[in-house]
Chain A
Amino acid sequence: MVTLETAPFEAEPGSAVEITALDTALWGVLPYVMVVVLVGGLVWRYKYDQFGWTTRSSQLYESKMLRIASPLFHFGLLAVIAGHFFGLVIPMAWTQAVGMSQDFYHFNALFVGGIAGVGTLGGIILLIYRRRTTGPVFMATTTNDKTMYVVLTAAIVFGLWTTLASVFEGEHGHNYRETVAPWFRSLFVLQPDIAAMAAAPFSFHLHTLVGMALFVIWPFTRLVHAFTAPLHYLFRPYIVYRSRDAATRRGWAPVGTRDRDTRNR
């Protein structure tokens, strides 16, 4: 039985590793570039390409495989996102403070995270298989989609690799809650803890880089539909009345004459 005292990580985050210029570029600059592209891209696309903002569903062509693969992938992904939140955002000190042992945390992260990851991967493999083998679905696949699938699958595979690696390495594995997680949190206070991230093993570096690539292409692919998940459906009235006058305006500046005051409707 391993206890916290014998936890295998000895390097004090940020002390033992030398920070190279590459580290600074990758873990100090790139994340902010990624955020700028992500946010800027999303704002730009939301302003100018509402019409292209859709799930681009292919269920009309094929339903049987989709009925299994798509929920498997999406629900798996939701669990994966929850896992990332738990691992990256919540500091280790907090879980320890509520009495959660490192072993218990580790077991959960691997077991639940592993199931979610395998489900997500299985889902996307099935979805890609369906996309390739169903004629009409493949014909409706654009180059943009294919690029997106490569990056998305890579992010999932490398993520799963980090998880599985820690399963096989057992207690000698790497504790990302002392490297990746502090770095992730430090990004938000604009004081990136580059050394902590640089201390993480290659598999985590790879997963993080591919993850950032995914967020960079996100606004320019069909993935944007995730940002308009229709949660407001739970609260809106069933029947929607809208005036003819309320036609959506596109772009930043109003074109032509100004609208009349809408009559009192």
Chain B
Amino acid sequence: MRVMAQMGMVMNLDKCIGCHTCSVTCKQAWTNRAGTEYVWFNNVETRPGQGYPRRYEDQERWHGGWVLNKRGKLVLKAGGRVKKLLGIFASPVQPELKDYYEPWTYDYKTLVDAPLGDDFPVARPKSLITGKDTKITWSANWDDDLGGSAENGHLDPIVEKVRRESEDKIKFAYEQTFMFYLPRICEHCLNPSCMASCPSGAIYKRVEDGIVLVDQDKCRGWRQCVTGCPYKKIYFNHKTGKAEKCTFCYPRVEVGLPTVCSETCVGRLRYLGLFLYDADAVTAAAAVTDPQELYDAQMDVLLDPNDPAVQAAARAQDIPEDWIDAARRSPVYALAKVYKVALPLHPEYRTMPMVWYVPPLSPVVDLLRDQGHDGEDHGNLFGAIEALRIPVEYLAELFTAGDADRVTAVLKKLAAMRSYMRGISLGNDPDDSIPEAVGMDGQTMYEMYRLMAIAKYDERYVIPKAHVEQAHDLEEMGCSLDFDGGPGMQDSSPFGEASGRPVPVAVETFNALRDRQTSDEAPGGTTLRGRVNLLNWDGTGAPPGLFPEKHHPGEQP
């Protein structure tokens, strides 16, 4: 047994209202740079829907993740090492910009610059790729709130699959039946197929916390990782020529702060904490034959942090004592393995994802309420979960490789918790038959309620800090003074844009924050190459280009 620690996340989908705050704050923190205009490390998808990039779940087309070969051995779906190298000159299965969307801004300047005329000036959309006029036809959340689902709904790969399997008995009733939001970040998998696909070996998993990162110095832009990741959560920065991905906000997590997406989530639906897992067991677990057993296999890889034997093994691997303690208090471990309400996204990709989801019960409750039933009553709820096959099958395709019973069991637990706690809130005696019906006791159910419904900050986020005695070994220490106006500050260099040393994230953030707090000018004005970005505007001063230049009297305009 080789115990390793892994930072994990759980998202409680029942609480997601689809406000995209996580996406926006993430974008402002990480991908508001040239070359990453189309990139959303965190995106929120309305399901049913095609997702971002479009139909990324259709692995027959995108060839992401792992499959078992004829001999039952785990191989990359896109092909082995030799095949990958032979295809390296033009990556054969590669999403294009149109599969994501063509990023754009608006020509705000015309609104104030246009000469006096009969017509109101219009801010035309301008492509951020070509700089020319563009027609906006798609975006990262174009089908938000089921927009256009009558036209495009059948393009959701999961809808396709569920309908095919039910021999078209189900007509397209999804938009009348249910809808929910699915926020997605990198899964920081235990068995990452992006990493296995990288010819350069630039993608690595940190030994200390399992965060998967791309070494920007080692990446050579072969883009096999983009093909390899079945979640399409690795993006190609078309300016720097390097792959980029969600970093789990490692500079924040290292000092004990939650990720930006978690911190800013208004629904407080994200949980962060540690898993302890057996690294030696990962490959075998990812190679079990029946896809529906992958969930159990993944559960078995996760170790019980309260088990003295596990703790001893963790100490033997030099995992610090406070990390073992954090693993014991981990909310993600509790939701995934103790209460068993959090499920991995698409376990059938065999990557052992470490971002988990509590499937949403709300569609069921809403439906009952709309039909005039008591949506909080466990009897009604249990019956409805059984009866409502469409949502359950859909959720099963997302979270359990199609095992509807497993999803039903989770939804019943959530229904039981709702019903049990309502009884208590109304002043009735706790009805212990409710938790028993889903295999729990009253005490455990109350604790689950506390974690899921009260969700205190300290209980949602249990993040052990990186160790102080290792402080100068942290990712970016040691050379920060080189960067005050250093080479990385230039827009372009002789070897193409963005070559040279990159500015360390912490330095860049520090400088940007200082600029923002101390200057009269709106920050970032000089780096936008003539564009006006109002997203960056915090009300201080006016970004260049927002208003036309002032003409002094007597001067020729």
Question: Contact at B208–A244, with CB atoms within 8 Å?
Answer: yes
Least CB distance from A193 to B in Å reads 36
- Taking CB atoms and an 8 Å cut-off, the chain B residues in 195-248 that contact chain A are 195-196, 198-201, 203-209, 215-223, 236, 238-242
A218 to B310, CA, bound (A): 54
Question: Contact at A51–B477, with CB atoms within 8 Å?
Answer: no
Verify if B369 is at the interface (C-beta below 8 Å from A).
no
Q: Given the known A-B contacts A71-B89, A233-B85, are A264 and B318 also in contact in the complex, defined by CB atoms under 8 Å?
A: yes
Taking CB atoms, residues of chain A closer than 8 Å to B470 are 244-245, 260
Taking CB atoms, residues of chain B closer than 8 Å to A136 are 97, 129-130
Instruction: Mark A35-75 against chain B: 1 for CB-CB distance below 8 A, else 0.
Output: 00000000001001111111111111111001110110111
Taking CB atoms, residues of chain A closer than 8 Å to B502 are 51
Taking CB atoms, residues of chain B closer than 8 Å to A56 are 221, 241, 496
Q: Which A residue's beta carbon lies closest to that of B211?
A: A244
Q: Which B residue's beta carbon lies closest to that of A123?
A: B89
Q: Given the known A-B contacts A63-B96, A257-B472, are A57 and B499 also in contact in the complex, defined by CB atoms under 8 Å?
A: no
Give the contacting residue for B201; candidates A48, A232, A249; CB below 8 A: A232
Question: Contact at A230–B129, with CB atoms within 8 Å?
Answer: no
Least CB distance from A242 to B in Å reads 4
Give the contacting residue for B495; candidates A52, A135, A233, A243; CB below 8 A: A52
Question: Contact at B498–A52, with CB atoms within 8 Å?
Answer: yes
Least CB distance from B155 to A in Å reads 21
Question: Contact at A49–B205, with CB atoms within 8 Å?
Answer: no
Taking CB atoms, residues of chain A closer than 8 Å to B475 are 244, 247
Verify if B147 is at the interface (C-beta below 8 Å from A).
no
A260 to B468, CA, bound (A): 12
Among B92, B239, B240, B494, residue most surrounded by chain A Cβ atoms (within 10 Å): B494
Question: Contact at B217–A248, with CB atoms within 8 Å?
Answer: yes
Question: Contact at B469–A238, with CB atoms within 8 Å?
Answer: no
Taking CB atoms, residues of chain B closer than 8 Å to A49 are 495, 499-501
Instruction: Mark A84-106 against chain B: 1 for CB-CB distance below 8 A, else 0.
Output: 00000000000000000000000
Verify if B466 is at the interface (C-beta below 8 Å from A).
yes
Question: Contact at B94–A241, with CB atoms within 8 Å?
Answer: no
A239 to B205, CA, bound (A): 8
A264 to B317, CA, bound (A): 8
Verify if A145 is at the interface (C-beta below 8 Å from B).
yes
Verify if B82 is at the interface (C-beta below 8 Å from A).
yes
A135 to B133, CA, bound (A): 12
A67 to B91, CA, bound (A): 8
A243 to B213, CA, bound (A): 11
Give the contacting residue for A249; candidates B222, B282, B478; CB below 8 A: B478
A136 to B204, CA, bound (A): 31
Question: Contact at B205–A240, with CB atoms within 8 Å?
Answer: yes
Question: Contact at B132–A55, with CB atoms within 8 Å?
Answer: no
Q: Given the known A-B contacts A233-B199, A260-B473, are A54 and B221 also in contact in the complex, defined by CB atoms under 8 Å?
A: yes
- Taking CB atoms and an 8 Å cut-off, the chain B residues in 469-497 that contact chain A are 469-470, 472-479, 482, 492-497
Taking CB atoms, residues of chain B closer than 8 Å to A245 are 470, 473
Q: Which B residue's beta carbon lies closest to that of A78?
A: B89
Least CB distance from B186 to A in Å reads 16
Question: Contact at B85–A51, with CB atoms within 8 Å?
Answer: no
Taking CB atoms, residues of chain B closer than 8 Å to A228 are 200, 220
Instruction: Mark A252-265 against chain B: 1 for CB-CB distance below 8 A, else 0.
Output: 00111101101111
Question: Contact at A51–B217, with CB atoms within 8 Å?
Answer: yes
How many residues of chain B are within 8 Å of chain A by beta carbon?
74
Chain B residues touching A, majority SS: loop
Question: Contact at A55–B473, with CB atoms within 8 Å?
Answer: no
Question: Contact at B221–A240, with CB atoms within 8 Å?
Answer: no
Instruction: Mark B127-160 against chain A: 1 for CB-CB distance below 8 A, else 0.
Output: 0011110000000000000000000000000000
Question: Contact at B500–A52, with CB atoms within 8 Å?
Answer: yes
Q: Which A residue's beta carbon lies closest to that of B474?
A: A244
A230 to B203, CA, bound (A): 14
- Taking CB atoms and an 8 Å cut-off, the chain B residues in 154-203 that contact chain A are 191-192, 195-196, 198-201, 203
Taking CB atoms, residues of chain A closer than 8 Å to B223 are 57, 59
Verify if B116 is at the interface (C-beta below 8 Å from A).
no
Q: Which B residue's beta carbon lies closest to that of A222?
A: B496
Question: Contact at B469–A260, with CB atoms within 8 Å?
Answer: yes
Verify if B514 is at the interface (C-beta below 8 Å from A).
no
Verify if A149 is at the interface (C-beta below 8 Å from B).
no
Question: Contact at B474–A60, with CB atoms within 8 Å?
Answer: no
A239 to B351, CA, bound (A): 11
Taking CB atoms, residues of chain B closer than 8 Å to A73 are 89
Question: Contact at A50–B478, with CB atoms within 8 Å?
Answer: no
Verify if B81 is at the interface (C-beta below 8 Å from A).
yes
Q: Which A residue's beta carbon lies closest to that of B238?
A: A60
Verify if B55 is at the interface (C-beta below 8 Å from A).
no
Q: Given the known A-B contacts A57-B241, A60-B96, A233-B81, are A71 and B90 also in contact in the complex, defined by CB atoms under 8 Å?
A: yes
Verify if A6 is at the interface (C-beta below 8 Å from B).
no
Least CB distance from A172 to B in Å reads 39
Question: Contact at B494–A54, with CB atoms within 8 Å?
Answer: no
Least CB distance from A49 to B in Å reads 5
Question: Contact at A145–B494, with CB atoms within 8 Å?
Answer: no
Binding site for B on A (CB under 8 A): 45, 48-63, 66-68, 70-71, 73-75, 135-136, 139-140, 142, 144-145, 220-222, 225, 228, 230-234, 236, 238-245, 247-251, 254-257, 259-260, 262-265
Give 17 pairs: A residue, B residue, CB < 8 Å, sorted on A: A53-B217, A55-B241, A56-B496, A66-B90, A67-B92, A74-B89, A75-B89, A139-B131, A144-B496, A230-B85, A232-B201, A234-B85, A240-B205, A244-B209, A245-B473, A249-B479, A260-B469
What 7 pairs across the A-B complex have the smallest Cβ distances? A52-B499, A230-B199, A50-B217, A54-B241, A238-B196, A56-B241, A242-B204
In the complex, besides A135-B132, A228-B200, 15 extra interface pairs with C-beta distance below 8 angstroms are: A57-B221, A144-B496, A221-B495, A222-B496, A230-B222, A233-B81, A238-B195, A239-B196, A240-B195, A247-B475, A249-B479, A250-B501, A255-B482, A257-B478, A262-B473
